[in-house]
Amino acid sequence: MNKKTMLFLVILGIIIIGCLFYFYKTRVNKINLNNIENNEESNQELISENEDFNFENETVLNNEIQVEINFTKDAFTVGETPENAYYFVDYKDTNPLDVLVLFGKTKEGLVKRSYGKYRGNLDSIFKSIISEKYDCDGNYIYYLSVYDCNSVDKLLATEKCKDIRDEKDLKNIYQNLETLYSIQKKITVNCPLENPFCCLNMAYSCIYDNDCLTGYYCQDGDCLKT
């Protein structure tokens, strides 16, 4: 084999090796490019899914708010005043200004319901003493509810539960909003043995005439029949 033939074979080998290297490099780059595009598509899908969640104006409330209605016993006699009875809310790590507390009572068999409210300030605990004297027999139901101020604001067009106007607003909240926390306590009040017909469930506590049912008026804290 002469020198020219050998030189030709060497050059041909170099050309073949170069072509093989070029095709291999091109294929690797194409594979890498496809992987990059696939990763970008996957990431875009994750971003799109995350964009579906709207956290605007969402209040994250602690699930450990403690609510309690405390009575030392479940039955009383007309004329008796409960001792150490109270409504209790411990906000734990929840900001008291993020919630509204409604509390009050009703007497079973009567449609009227009393409403009270408390909106927290710098205090971490709300406590309201129950110190009424029972003037009528029957079943009394005490209730305590906690509401998210965002929901209250949407319902009443208020801001951070401020400027709630009157009892109608409280009734609106009670009837139309779901509670974050809600408990109730039932207390039975009996007539004394010497007077088994002391009230006949015909009266209950009031402040104004409009606290009473139709056909009743308020006198000395009692709803009396007209």
Q: How confident is the model at residue 87 (pLDDT cuts 50, 70, 90)?
A: very high
Closest of 92, 107, 56 to residue 181, by C-alpha: 92
Q: What is the pTM of this model?
A: 0.61
What are the distances in angstroms from CA 84 to CA 81, 88, 132? 10, 12, 11
User: Which pLDDT value is given to residue 62?
Assistant: 46
H helices of 59-115, in order, are none
Q: Distance between CA 73 and CA 76 in Å, rounded?
A: 8
Stretch among 34-43, 129-138, 166-175 having the lowest mean pLDDT? 34-43
**Domains contained in the chain, CATH given:** 66-198 (2.60.40.1930)
If one compares 97 and 208, the residue with the highest pLDDT of the two is 97
What average pLDDT does the structure give for the chain? 74
- Residues in contact with 197: Cβ distance below 8 Å, sequence separation at least 6, in sequence order: 191
Asked if the model's pLDDT at residue 77 lies above 60, the reply is yes
> Which of 74, 213, 65 is closest to 141 using CA atoms?
74
Residue 220 has pLDDT above 50, yes or no: yes
